[in-house]
Amino acid sequence: MIYLASWRRALPLTGQCVLILFGLAALYAFPPAYGRILLVPVTAHARAMLARVAVAQGARLVAAGRWRGSLLVEGDRGRLAQPLLERGILLLSTDAGGCEGGKG
């Protein structure tokens, strides 16, 4: 009984710690409003259309990303987010993607 009571007391604290960790990870990976953004395709179809869709939304291609099929672009997150997410392409901060010189 004592073990069950202490577990129930620790559950809210554990839940809050998990939420904080996920929140920090999300803030770290969230791309800037404008600037360099790493585009990561989730499917083979998304990889095939990645550059074409990004350029059509006003992004400027900078380099290939470190992850297979990914691209580093410079652009406006507001213009890029919806069309790319609908096609299975994730937008990440360049810090989260391991890109050197991501800021600037």
pLDDT tens digits, one per residue of 13-57: 888 989 998 888 887 778 888 999 999 999 999 999 999 999 999
Contact 2, 56 (CB under 8 A): no
- β-pair partners for 60: 74
Instruction: Determine contact, residues 31/92, Cβ cutoff 8 Å.
Output: yes
Sign (positive/negative) of CA torsion 13, 18, 19, 20? positive
pLDDT of residue 5: 62
In eight-state DSSP terms, residue 80 is H
Name the strands in the sheet holding 71-76, side by side, starting at the edge strand that comes first in the sequence: 60-64, 71-76, 34-41, 89-93
Q: How many percent of the chain have pLDDT more than 90?
A: 54
